[in-house]
Structure 1
Amino acid sequence: MVCPLTAWPPTILNRSRYIRSYDHIYMMRRASKLERKSLTQALSEFIYNLRYSDIPPNVIEKTKIHILDTLGIMMATYDDDNVKKVVNMVRTLGGSEESIVIGHGFRVAAANAVIANASMAHSADYDDTHLEPIIHTSCVAVPTALAIGEAMDIDGKKFVEAIIASYEVSIRIAHAAGRKLHERGFHPTSVVGVFGSVAASSKILNLDPSKILNALGIAGSMASGIMQGHKEGIWLKPLHPAIASHSGILASLLAMNGVEGPKMVLEGEWGFFRSYLYGEEPVLNRVVEDLGSRWETLNIAIKPYPVGHAAVAPIDLAIMLREKYSVGLSDIKELVFYLPKTAKDLVCEPWEKRIRPRNPYEAKFSVPFLAIIAIKKGWVGLRDFTWENIRDEAVLKHTSKVKCIHDPSYDRVAREAVIPARVKLLTTDGRIYEEEVINHRGSPKKPFTWVDEEKKFYENIANTKFARIGRELVDAIRSIERHGIRYIGNMLY
C-alpha cells in the first residue's frame, strides 16, 4: 500500500525541522492554487485503505505477539483493587450488552467496556512501549479493537488491521512531537492515544475517509492526560489509556452520525501540535514519512518486567551484576546508574519517593527499589509489588546505596527507540564493576519471540481463573485469522 499523501508541500515535507512560523504555512496554503491534503487527511486515507493483504507477514506476526501480551496483562490484573473500582463504575454506566468486561462476566456498551479493559492493560505497567517518543500503544489499540470488534462481530483479519492502524497512527503523531510532550508534563499514551483509538474504531466501523477525517478532528478536542498523578505516586496513569480509548470510540461514533470535526486538527493554527507544543517545533514529516511502507509496529518494545520502561535496562544491569560477578546485597557499597534525562525523570525522581516507595505503584518507578530486588532475587515480577515487599527493611536498608546520574551522552541514543543505561558498582571490599545495556530484551533489536511471549503470558495468568484456558487462547491468537472476535471475547468472561 502506498501513502496517500500525494500533495503535501514538498518544501515542508522534506525539511527535518518544522517551520517556526505557522502563519507562513497558512499563507503558503492560501496562495497556492493546488489542492493539498492535510496530515490528518493523509492519515484518514491510510486508515481507510489499509488491508490485511497489504501488511507484511512479519508485521502481522509481531502484532499477534503484542495482542497476546496485552490480553495476558489484562487477564492478570482484572481483579486488581483499583481496577475493580473502575469496573464497578463501568457496571453502573451499563448500556447494550456489546462487549465483555474481562474477567467480570458481564457485557456493556463498547465505549464503556473499554474503560475497564484499557485500565487493566496499563494497570501493572507491564504493557509494551514505543521507546523513541515513549508511548504505550497496545493498551489503547487492543482494548479498543476488542470492544468495538465484539460489538461489530468482526473477524480476526479486521481485528489485526484495526490494531496496526492504531499503532501506526499514534506512533507517528507521537514521533512528530518527540519527547517534548513528556517534558511538558503530558502523557503521550493518552494525549496521542485518542487518535490511535479513532484509527482502530473507525476502521472496524467501516467509516469512509471523510468520516474518519471528522473523527480524528473530533478526537483532537478530547486529547488529554497529565503526569501530575504519577509525580504524586497515585494510581491514575492506568486510567489514561482508558480515557483515550473511550474518547476515541466516542469520536468515531459521533463522526459516523454526522458530527463534523476540523480538517487540520494536527497542524492547524489552533491544532494539536501548536496547542500542546506551543513554542516548540514538531517534526511534521515524521507523521507521513514512508507511511504504508515502513512499519513502526516493528519498533514497539515488549517489557520483560512489570515496571516503568525506563527502569528495564537498570534491572537488566542489576541481574547482570548478580549473575556475572556473584554480587549480593551485602557486597554493595555504592551502586550508580547512568541514565538519559527522560528516564531519570521518570524512574529516579522525586528521589525521596524512589528510595522509599510509599506504595506498590511508586515501587514500579523506583530504580533504587527495583535494582535491590533484582540483585536479591535475580528477577522482578508481578508478585514483587505487594505492601509487604515495599515495606521490607531487608530491602529498604540498601536503597540509599543507589544513585542515579544523568548522562547527557545517552540523550541522543535514547531518541533512537532505546532507553539505555550504565551501572558502576563499588563493593564493600573495593572491587569495581561496570556494565552497560543499550538494547534490553524485548526491544526492537532483541524482540520477543513466541517462546518468550508465551512464557510471559503463562506466568501472568498462572494464579488466575484464566489458567485453564491459556493454551486455547494462545492457539486462537496465533491463528486469529480463522476466528471471530466474539470467540475471543467469550474466553475472557
Structure 2
Amino acid sequence: MAEHTLSRTLAGFAAGTSYETLPAEVTESVRRRVIDVLGLCVAAHRLPTSAAVVEHVTDQGGRPQATVIGGGTRVPAPLAALANGVLAHSLDYDDTHLPSVLHPSASVVPAALAAAEAAGAGGRSTLHAIAVGLEVCVRLGMAGYDRAAGNSTFFEHGQHATSICGALGGAVSAGLLLGLDEDGIGHALGIAASMASGIIEANRTGGTVKRLHCGLAAQSAVTAAQLVGRGFTGPPTVLEGRFGFFEAFLHGAFDASAITEGLGDDWAVPGIFFKPYPANHFTHTAADAAMALRARGLDPARVERLVLGVPGPVIRTIGQPIEGKRTPETGYQAQFSGPYLVAAGLVGGGGGLGLGLDDFTDELARDPVRRALMAKVEVVEDERASAIFPEQFPAVLTAHDTDGGVWREEVLDNRGGSRRPLSEAELELKFRDNARGRLSEAGIALVLDRGRRLDEIDRIDDLLAPLGEFDPVAGGPRV
C-alpha cells in the first residue's frame, strides 16, 4: 500500500493503538455507548420493521456466527450486523456527533459486536475496536463538514453521512477484531468505501428506509473486513484519489486536516452527544422549551399561537412541508416533526428523562389534542439559533395565549452533550426504560453489570447472552 495516503494514516492509527493506550475518558465513553446501543436494540423490537429485518436475516441461512440482539437468534456475522444496525437506529434514539450531525454508534457498535462474536474476541479488544471505529467515523464526517456554510456537505447533497461514514468506521473496527494488520485495515477501508451509501429524503417526506441505513453500513463493514481476510484489496488512495470517496460523495470538497490533525491524541469519542428523547436530534430543544413553558404554568388549552424558532438549515427536516409536519400519520413521522415535539412537550411526557418511547405512537401522532396544538405551530428561522448551529441545535419557543400573554423560552444547548450531560444514573434509567417489559429485572441488572465491566469480559458472547431471554414476538421475558 502506498505511503502517506489518508487511508494509510487511519490504518496506522488503528493498528498503532491498543486498549492500554486509550485515555480513560474514551474507554468510559465507549462502555456507556455499548450499553446505550444494547438498550435501543431491545426496545426496537416493538417495530414492524424490526420484525421484518430479523425475519429477513434468519431466512438467509448460513453459519451461526453472531447474535441478533433480543431473542438470541444466531446468523452469519454480516447479517447480525445488519439486523442490529437496523435495530440500533430505528427509534432515532441513538447518539449524535456535532457538528458533523453523525450518529456513529448505531453502525460501528453493531459491526464490532458481530465481528467480535465471530472472532471469539473479549471485552478489551472489542472496546478498543469500537473506540477506534467511532473516531474514524467522526473524522471522516468532519472532513465533509463545511465550516463556512455551517453544515455538512454530505447533507447538502442529500447523503446520509451516518451510514456512509459509518461503513468505513465499522470496517476499521471489524478489521481489528478479525485480526487484520495495518495493510489489511487500509484495504478494508478501500473496500467499504465502495459499499457506503444512504440518502435522506425520507427525513422530509416519509418512508422507513432510513432505518435500514446503519444496518447496511454495519453489514458492509463486516463484509469488507471478511473479504480482505480472503484476499480482496482496495485502492490506497481510496479517500483522496481522483475517483475516490471524497470526489464521489463531496465533489472533491473536503478537509483533510479534520482526519489527520491530532489523530491519536485528541479524541472526539467522549464528546458525542447521547440522546435523551427518541426523536430527530434537531427537535430536542423544542421539546425542552415546551416542557419548560408547561412547568412555568402555561396551560396548553389556552394557547392561541406558537412560534418555534430554530436554525435555518434544520427547517427542511423538522418544519417542511409544514402541512405534513403538523399532521404526522405515524409515530415515526412524528419523530421528525418540530410541531409534534412542541405539542408532546406541552401535553405529554412522564418518562424518566421527560419524553419517552410511549410519546411516539401512531395513535398519539393522530391525537386530536396534539393535532390542535400542532396546527398552531409555525417553524421559522431564529438568527441566534442559526449562528450557534451546528455546534448545538438551539430552539426559541414563543407562545401567545388567549389572554394576550406572551411566553418565551430559549434552549440554546442540547441535553446529553458536554454542557448538559446525562449522568450515569440517567443513562442507566434510559437503558432500563428501553428494556423494561422485555427483559427481566435480573437480566437488566446483568447486562448493566457486564457492560460496566466490559473490559473484564473474556468473550463478548457473555455480554449478549442475557439479551436473548425475551421472545421478540411476544415482547416479554421468556418463562
Give the TM interval when normalised to the shorter protein: over 0.9
Q: Report how far residue 368 of structure 1 moved.
A: 0.6
In 2, Cα distance between the equivalents of 1:468 and 1:352?
46
**Corresponding position: 1:312 with 2:318:** no
Match of 1:211 among 158, 162, 184: 184
Matches within 5 A, 1:67-82: 67-82=34-49
**Corresponding position: 1:332 with 2:303:** yes
Query: 2:420 maps to what in 1?
Result: 446
Matches within 5 A, 1:116-135: 116-135=83-102
In 1, Cα distance between the equivalents of 2:461 and 2:355?
34
Q: Report how far residue 338 of structure 1 moved.
A: 1.3
**Corresponding position: 1:433 with 2:407:** yes
Query: 1:285 maps to what in 2?
Result: 257
Q: Contact between 1:145 and 1:201, CA under 8 Å: does it hold in 2?
A: yes
| Paired letter, 1:345 | R
Unmatched segments (≥5 aa) in structure 1: 1-34
**Corresponding position: 1:91 with 2:58:** yes
In 1, Cα distance between the equivalents of 2:355 and 2:464?
30
Match of 2:228 among 255, 272, 281: 255
Q: What is the DSSP-based 3-state SS (H/G/I as helix, E as strand, rest coil) of the residue aligned with 1:333? A: strand
Do the aligned partners of residues 250 and 56 (structure 1) sit closer, same or farther apart at CA in structure 2, a change above 3 Å counting? same
In 1, Cα distance between the equivalents of 2:52 and 2:428?
29
In 1, Cα distance between the equivalents of 2:205 and 2:400?
32
Query: 2:476 maps to what in 1?
Result: none
**Corresponding position: 1:342 with 2:313:** yes
Which shifted more, 118-127 or 228-237? 228-237
| Paired letter, 1:445 | R
Which shifted more, 460-469 or 202-211? 460-469
Q: What is the DSSP-based 3-state SS (H/G/I as helix, E as strand, rest coil) of the residue aligned with 1:327? A: coil
In 2, Cα distance between the equivalents of 1:394 and 1:469?
38
Match of 2:340 among 369, 374, 380: 369
Matches within 5 A, 1:143-162: 143-162=110-129
Q: Report how far residue 232 of structure 1 moved.
A: 2.6
In 1, Cα distance between the equivalents of 2:421 and 2:111?
24
Q: Contact between 1:363 and 1:370, CA under 8 Å: does it hold in 2?
A: yes
Query: 1:488 maps to what in 2?
Result: 463
Which shifted more, 106-115 or 223-232? 223-232
Q: Contact between 1:150 and 1:489, CA under 8 Å: does it hold in 2?
A: no
Query: 1:268 maps to what in 2?
Result: 241
Q: Report how far residue 408 of structure 1 moved.
A: 4.1
Q: Contact between 1:227 and 1:237, CA under 8 Å: does it hold in 2?
A: yes
Q: What is the DSSP-based 3-state SS (H/G/I as helix, E as strand, rest coil) of the residue aligned with 1:369? A: helix
In 2, Cα distance between the equivalents of 1:441 and 1:341?
20
**Corresponding position: 1:195 with 2:168:** yes
Q: What is the DSSP-based 3-state SS (H/G/I as helix, E as strand, rest coil) of the residue aligned with 1:263? A: coil
Q: Contact between 1:146 and 1:489, CA under 8 Å: does it hold in 2?
A: no
Q: Contact between 2:309 and 2:382, CA under 8 Å: does it hold in 1?
A: yes
Query: 1:40 maps to what in 2?
Result: 7
Q: Report how far residue 459 of structure 1 moved.
A: 1.0
**Corresponding position: 1:402 with 2:369:** no
Q: Contact between 1:230 and 1:236, CA under 8 Å: does it hold in 2?
A: no
**Corresponding position: 1:354 with 2:325:** yes
Match of 2:436 among 459, 462, 466: 462
In 1, Cα distance between the equivalents of 2:242 and 2:452?
45
Q: Report how far residue 78 of structure 1 moved.
A: 2.3
Q: Contact between 2:331 and 2:363, CA under 8 Å: does it hold in 1?
A: no
Q: Contact between 1:62 and 1:298, CA under 8 Å: does it hold in 2?
A: yes
Unmatched segments (≥5 aa) in structure 2: 146-151, 469-479
Q: What percent identity do the matched residue pairs reach?
A: 33
Q: Report how far residue 317 of structure 1 moved.
A: 0.7
Q: Report how far residue 51 of structure 1 moved.
A: 0.7
In 2, Cα distance between the equivalents of 1:445 and 1:293?
22
Which shifted more, 328-337 or 144-153? 328-337
| Paired letter, 1:338 | G
Q: Contact between 1:421 and 1:436, CA under 8 Å: does it hold in 2?
A: yes
Q: Contact between 2:443 and 2:467, CA under 8 Å: does it hold in 1?
A: no
Q: Report how far residue 36 of structure 1 moved.
A: 5.1
In 2, Cα distance between the equivalents of 1:60 and 1:465?
26
Q: Contact between 1:311 and 1:343, CA under 8 Å: does it hold in 2?
A: no
Q: Contact between 2:38 and 2:69, CA under 8 Å: does it hold in 1?
A: no
Q: Contact between 1:114 and 1:147, CA under 8 Å: does it hold in 2?
A: yes
In 2, Cα distance between the equivalents of 1:399 and 1:353?
10
Q: Contact between 1:264 and 1:271, CA under 8 Å: does it hold in 2?
A: yes
Residues 285-341 of structure 1, C-alpha deviations (whole Å, 9 max, x = no match): 001110111110011001110000000111111111111x21121121221111113
| Paired letter, 2:257 | N
In 2, Cα distance between the equivalents of 1:201 and 1:294?
22
Q: Report how far residue 96 of structure 1 moved.
A: 0.8
Q: What is the DSSP-based 3-state SS (H/G/I as helix, E as strand, rest coil) of the residue aligned with 2:89? A: helix
In 2, Cα distance between the equivalents of 1:167 and 1:321?
37
Q: Report how far residue 105 of structure 1 moved.
A: 2.9
Q: Contact between 1:328 and 1:376, CA under 8 Å: does it hold in 2?
A: no
In 2, Cα distance between the equivalents of 1:476 and 1:133?
31
Q: Contact between 2:284 and 2:341, CA under 8 Å: does it hold in 1?
A: no
- Length-normalised TM-score, structure 2: 0.92
Q: Contact between 1:372 and 1:399, CA under 8 Å: does it hold in 2?
A: yes
In 2, Cα distance between the equivalents of 1:44 and 1:106?
33
Q: Report how far residue 347 of structure 1 moved.
A: 1.4
Query: 1:423 maps to what in 2?
Result: 397
Q: Contact between 2:348 and 2:359, CA under 8 Å: does it hold in 1?
A: no
Q: Contact between 1:64 and 1:477, CA under 8 Å: does it hold in 2?
A: yes
**Corresponding position: 1:299 with 2:271:** yes
Query: 2:448 maps to what in 1?
Result: 474
Q: Contact between 1:333 and 1:428, CA under 8 Å: does it hold in 2?
A: yes
What RMSD over aligned residues (CA atoms) do the two structures have, in Å?
A: 1.4
Q: Contact between 2:96 and 2:272, CA under 8 Å: does it hold in 1?
A: yes
Which shifted more, 387-396 or 173-182? 387-396
Q: Contact between 1:461 and 1:467, CA under 8 Å: does it hold in 2?
A: no
Q: Contact between 1:94 and 1:112, CA under 8 Å: does it hold in 2?
A: no
Q: What is the DSSP-based 3-state SS (H/G/I as helix, E as strand, rest coil) of the residue aligned with 1:435? A: strand
In 2, Cα distance between the equivalents of 1:291 and 1:87?
37
